[in-house]
């Protein structure tokens, strides 16, 4: 065996040496090669994610655009969060704002609907059926046909302007456009004004997820309307050019217009701002020009990553399929008649999924300032963005994991603007954003995840912002007394009997604290580093070493009865399985707590293979299950990569392949769960490239399996990073690593450094159908370990129910085997001079037990339990 191992290594070395002997002329050709723009927009299918629970919309939008002009087919409900669901066949109209993949409905503001005949103001009267075969959607363009009226409706957009083109039948004597300001959510105030026979302006203030959202609009029409009417509470108001109220609608009527182009600018600031946006971005009524420009803009963004191949060619795949039939088709060795397989173009399918995913990563956040820089801030005041674009719709609990790291690679200028937006929000509201929507902070989800976005950007050289102010803002965010943060600081964990979602909050807060520690290190703030690197380890205080799960702390002990599959109040949209591995900042620490690499690997195996079913609360977000791994929700997204820390990194390769194949498709229900403003798609993009950062804030990208023969990332510094996997084009079963090279030299790590990518170059992986443990065992593993200021985990107190009648026995334990436990029974604070715990304690009266674990002169937080004697 040693001889065989030696020969294999020699063979691999020779292979890499042959690769390295590339001619100088070929290298010069590659350096001289310029990016050739390709039409990747044609591969994007905006209908992917509009079915199932993806919650995306198919309408017209530019990258990160303020306007999302799309059809509305639903008035509410979870699966109507975006306003559209692929299964619907009735459309209410076309509104100008939409959310991509959220789990809460909002937006869908300022609805336009073309109709024929006498104007109707109730949506059940003016809505129309439509057929799926008449729908078409490409980046920046949408089209459908309204069967009720025989009207073709087309949509396109610029950043701040939506452009409609309605083609009415030739017999349309009364051709209308209904403008509905009551549509969808609760209206707090609205008004509309007929400016002249070509122009209308208005305002809508509404309450939904965003409790105070303001949208102004200004619309111009390519043809004059002959008459108009304004309705309040669905009743026409005679002789009025302006009306205000909570149920304001209007109709504009054209006389046999044929085609009408409507262009609508929006603004959060004023009608004048909406007009300025409109006139600046769409000065004419050339629908085709706007549509063409939208496609060009999308192609510019999509070309930041160019991929080729991804599967065997149709010819190769057909030949392989026929060979398989021959091998099982009898002695004559012929393909049975009528059984020649029709093989899909898997490469095109995979590219469609990839570019649609990349498209989805660019729908949010959305620009919120007008062309003159003005925007409405979280303080509801008007401000001006100086030298940057101000954004909204930050789904940070989701997107910090892969969406923002992707944009940090391919869109650094915009990432810098995101951070400047965060700081503007901090200046105006005193808090870094959590989940800002329009000019509102929704406080949705947990954690303070603008922090990892800032730190990851700074670590990767994006520093065009006030780092000192950002650091102050980060510390302010985690030191406020809200959402259990005070409890977390006091006890080293959020306690389950004090705060809901305590386990999830503890883990997310600890990760944010680790990010602050990394920022402190980069800013050479040693005292801050020491404080926050300790807080980054508070995850240890919710880790139960008795069962190897993250579990809520209640009355000094553990939440019982405990079932790891149960979705309950202790976790955010998940259970113990889906949160136990959420320690990306200290994987080695978690491995140690679990008892070593093999125990850790066994636990990961069980995560993916258990046959146990979800229990407890029914949460639809917990979807895309492989065992108890839930790809449909974000806390699981890094977990397949954790096998890279074990002696079986081939399992990372196996499960990545399975997730990519099973949880994504080219169909409308092709997402495992909510798109969540780009995160679900960003995971696909990064994993398809074969690199993933499990802990944004550090610079290691773990290696998975690149899904394409070739992928080129074009960087803003003018360089390009090329990732090659020729095995992807040979067989779809080539999912295991056989060799690696970087810059034409043999590579022996399971991760890439950010500098490897930023410096440009070529990274090649060699793949095969069988796991190559011999090759993998010598690769350097990634590093995720906190070795500074290591804390002592809190002890835990085990007893019966809090209330008792007969004398009870109490145990005190610690996850740290070398720690000594000291305790008191009189409510006083325990120290190293208190009673040393060495055997169970019997109590027969109401007692408050306090305990502390001490190791290497370091002390844990005090653990406290109260037991009450009942008469």
Q: What is the pLDDT of residues 131-185, one digit of tens each?
A: 999 999 999 999 999 999 999 999 999 999 999 999 999 987 899 999 999 999 9
Rounded alpha-carbon distances, angstroms, from residue 682 to 354, 377, 701, 809 = 9, 28, 14, 52
Compute the distance between CA of residue 43 and CA of residue 138 in angstroms, rounded to an integer: 9
For residue 800, the 8-state DSSP code is S
Mean pLDDT of 723-740: 95
**Burial track 823-852 (b if 16+ CB lie within 10 A, e otherwise):** bbbeeeebeeebeebeeebebeeebebbbb
What torsion do the CA atoms of 606, 608, 614, 618 make, to the nearest 10 degrees?
A: 150
Instruction: Match 């389950």 to its residue by tokens.
Output: 496
Compute the distance between CA of residue 325 and CA of residue 411 in angstroms, rounded to an integer: 48
pLDDT at site 542: 98
Rounded alpha-carbon distances, angstroms, from residue 434 to 429, 567, 843 = 12, 23, 46
Residue among 144, 125, 142 nearest 134 (CA)? 144
pLDDT beyond 50 at 258: yes
For residue 560, the 8-state DSSP code is S
pLDDT beyond 80 at 563: yes
pLDDT in tens, 645-665: 999 999 999 999 999 999 999
Percent of the chain with pLDDT over 90: 91
Mean pLDDT of 250-264: 96
Name the phi and psi angles at 34, rounded to 5. Answer: -105, 155
The model's pTM: 0.94
pLDDT beyond 90 at 26: no
Rounded alpha-carbon distances, angstroms, from residue 66 to 284, 290, 481, 628 = 20, 16, 34, 38
Chain-wide mean pLDDT for the chain? 93
| Per-residue pLDDT band at 32 (split at 50, 70, 90) | very low
pLDDT beyond 90 at 798: yes
CA angle 70/75/79 to nearest 5° reads: 80
What torsion do the CA atoms of 401, 406, 408, 409 make, to the nearest 10 degrees?
A: 140
Mean pLDDT of 62-83: 98
pLDDT beyond 80 at 484: yes
Q: Which residues pair with 820 in a beta bridge?
A: 854
pLDDT in tens, 325-367: 444 444 344 444 455 556 789 999 999 999 999 999 999 999 9
Compute the distance between CA of residue 683 and CA of residue 629 in angstroms, rounded to an integer: 15
Mean pLDDT of 668-678: 98
DSSP E strand stretches across 588-747: 615-616, 625-626, 629-630, 691-692, 700-703, 710-714, 720-724, 736-742, 745-746
DSSP per-residue codes, 119-137: ---SHHHH-EE--GGG-EE
Contact 249, 234 (CB under 8 A): yes
pLDDT at site 328: 44
Gyration radius from the chain CA atoms: 30
What torsion do the CA atoms of 656, 662, 665, 671 make, to the nearest 10 degrees?
A: -90
Compute the distance between CA of residue 139 and CA of residue 59 in angstroms, rounded to an integer: 8
Asked if omega into 561 is within 30° of 0 (cis), the reply is: yes
| Per-residue pLDDT band at 27 (split at 50, 70, 90) | very low
DSSP per-residue codes, 12-38: HHHHHHHHH---HHHHHHHHHPPPPP-
- Report which secondary-structure segment, H or E, holds 132: none
Hey, what are 210's tokens?
């965003």
User: What end-to-end distance do the CA atoms of the chain give, in Å?
Assistant: 73
Ramachandran category for residue 520: left, alpha or beta (phi over 0 → left; psi -120 to 50 → alpha): alpha
pLDDT beyond 70 at 14: no
Q: HEC states along 342-362?
A: CCCCHHHHHHHHHHHHHHHCC
pLDDT at site 585: 98
pLDDT at site 33: 53
pLDDT at site 292: 98
Compute the distance between CA of residue 865 and CA of residue 798 in angstroms, rounded to an integer: 9
Residue among 122, 488, 141 nearest 296 (CA)? 141
Contact 113, 269 (CB under 8 A): no
Helix axes 467-478, 412-429, angle to 10 degrees: 60
Rounded alpha-carbon distances, angstroms, from residue 631 to 51, 532, 574 = 17, 30, 11
Instruction: Match 């022996």 to its residue by tokens.
Output: 748
Three-state DSSP class for residue 168: coil
Residue among 168, 162, 159 nearest 111 (CA)? 162
pLDDT at site 340: 53
Q: Could you tell me how many residues make up the chain? A: 871
pLDDT beyond 80 at 24: no
pLDDT beyond 60 at 540: yes
Hey, what are 291's tokens?
């549509």
Mean pLDDT of 780-785: 97
Helices (H) and strands (E) in the chain, counts: 22, 51
pLDDT in tens, 384-434: 999 999 999 999 999 999 999 999 999 999 999 999 999 999 999 999 999
């Amino acid at each position: 065996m040693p001889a065989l191992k030696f020969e294999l290594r020699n063979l691999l070395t020779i292979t890499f040496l042959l690769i390295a002997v590339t001619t100088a002329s070929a290298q010069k050709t590659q350096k001289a090669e310029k990016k050739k723009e390709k039409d990747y927009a044609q591969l994007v299918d905006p209908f992917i994610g509009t079915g199932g629970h993806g919650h995306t919309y198919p309408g017209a939008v530019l990258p990160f655009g303020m306007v999302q002009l799309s059809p509305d087919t639903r008035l509410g409900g979870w699966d109507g969060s975006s306003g559209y669901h692929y299964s619907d066949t009735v459309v209410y109209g076309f509104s100008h704002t939409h959310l991509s993949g959220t789990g809460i409905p909002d937006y869908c503001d300022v609805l336009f609907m073309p109709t024929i005949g006498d104007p109707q103001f109730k949506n059940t009267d003016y809505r129309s059926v439509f057929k799926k075969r008449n729908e078409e959607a490409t980046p920046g363009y949408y089209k459908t046909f309204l069967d009720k009226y025989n009207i073709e409706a087309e949509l396109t957009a610029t950043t701040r302007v939506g452009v409609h083109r309605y083609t009415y039948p030739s017999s349309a004597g009364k051709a209308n456009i209904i403008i509905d300001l009551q549509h969808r959510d609760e209206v707090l105030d609205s008004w509309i004004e007929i400016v002249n026979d070509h122009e209308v302006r208005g305002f809508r203030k509404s309450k939904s997820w965003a409790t105070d959202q303001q949208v102004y609009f200004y619309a111009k029409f390519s043809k004059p309307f002959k008459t108009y009417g304004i309705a309040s509470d669905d009743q026409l108001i005679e002789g009025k050019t302006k009306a205000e109220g909570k149920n304001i609608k209007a109709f504009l009527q054209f006389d046999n217009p044929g085609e009408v182009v409507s262009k609508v600018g929006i603004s959060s600031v004023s009608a004048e701002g909406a007009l300025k946006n409109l006139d600046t971005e769409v000065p004419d009524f050339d629908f085709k020009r706007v549509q063409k420009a939208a496609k060009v803009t999308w192609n510019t963004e999509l070309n930041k990553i160019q991929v080729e191949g991804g599967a065997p060619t149709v010819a190769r795949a057909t030949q392989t399929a026929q060979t398989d039939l021959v091998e099982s088709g009898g002695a004559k060795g012929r393909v049975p008649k009528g059984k020649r397989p029709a093989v899909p173009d898997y490469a095109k399918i995979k590219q469609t999924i990839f570019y649609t995913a990349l498209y989805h990563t660019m729908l949010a956040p959305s620009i919120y300032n007008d062309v003159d820089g003005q925007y409405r801030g979280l303080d509801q005041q008007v401000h001006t963005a100086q030298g940057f674009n101000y954004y909204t719709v930050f789904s940070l609990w989701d997107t910090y994991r892969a969406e923002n790291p992707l944009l940090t690679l391919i869109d650094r200028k915009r990432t810098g603007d995101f951070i400047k937006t965060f700081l503007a929000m901090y200046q105006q509201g005193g808090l870094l954003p959590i989940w800002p929507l329009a000019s509102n902070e929704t406080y949705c989800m947990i954690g303070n995840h603008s922090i990892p976005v800032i730190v990851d950007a700074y670590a990767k050289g994006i520093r065009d912002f006030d780092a000192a102010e950002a650091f102050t803002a980060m510390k302010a965010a985690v030191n406020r007394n809200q959402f259990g943060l005070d409890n977390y600081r006091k006890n080293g964990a959020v306690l389950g009997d004090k705060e809901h979602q305590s386990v999830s909050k503890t883990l997310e807060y600890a990760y944010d604290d680790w990010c602050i520690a990394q920022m402190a290190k980069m800013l050479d703030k040693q005292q801050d580093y020491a404080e926050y690197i300790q807080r980054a380890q508070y995850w240890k205080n919710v880790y139960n070493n008795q069962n190897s799960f993250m579990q809520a702390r209640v009355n000094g002990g553990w939440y019982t009865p405990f079932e790891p599959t149960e979705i309950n109040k202790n976790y955010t949209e998940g259970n113990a399985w889906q949160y136990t591995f959420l320690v990306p900042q200290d994987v080695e620490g978690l491995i140690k707590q679990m008892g070593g690499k093999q125990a850790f690997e066994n636990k990961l195996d069980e995560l993916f293979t258990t046959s146990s079913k979800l229990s407890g609360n029914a949460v639809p977000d917990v979807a895309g299950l492989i065992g108890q791994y839930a790809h449909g929700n974000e806390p699981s997204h890094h977990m397949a990569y954790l096998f890279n820390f074990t002696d079986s990194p081939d399992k990372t390769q196996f499960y990545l392949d399975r997730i990519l194949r099973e949880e994504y498709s080219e169909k409308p229900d092709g997402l495992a769960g909510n798109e969540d403003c780009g995160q679900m798609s960003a995971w696909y993009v990064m994993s398809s490239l074969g690199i993933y950062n499990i802990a944004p804030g550090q610079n290691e990208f773990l290696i998975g399996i690149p899904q394409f023969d070739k992928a080129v990332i074009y960087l803003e510094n003018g360089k390009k990073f090329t990732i090659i996997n020729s095995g992807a084009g040979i067989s779809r079963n080539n999912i295991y690593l056989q060799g690696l090279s970087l810059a034409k030299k043999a590579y022996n790590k399971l991760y890439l450094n950010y500098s490897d990518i930023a410096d440009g170059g070529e990274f090649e992986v060699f793949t095969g159908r069988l796991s190559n443990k011999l090759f993998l065992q010598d690769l350097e593993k990634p590093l995720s370990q906190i070795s500074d200021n290591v804390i002592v985990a809190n002890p835990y107190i085990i007893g019966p129910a809090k209330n008792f009648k007969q004398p009870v026995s109490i145990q005190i334990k610690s996850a740290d085997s070398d720690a000594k436990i000291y305790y008191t029974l009189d409510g006083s604070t325990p120290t190293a001079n208190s009673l040393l715990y060495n055997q169970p304690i019997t109590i027969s009266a109401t007692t408050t037990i306090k305990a502390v674990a001490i190791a290497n002169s370091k002390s844990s937080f005090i653990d406290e339990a109260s037991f009450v004697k009942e008469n």
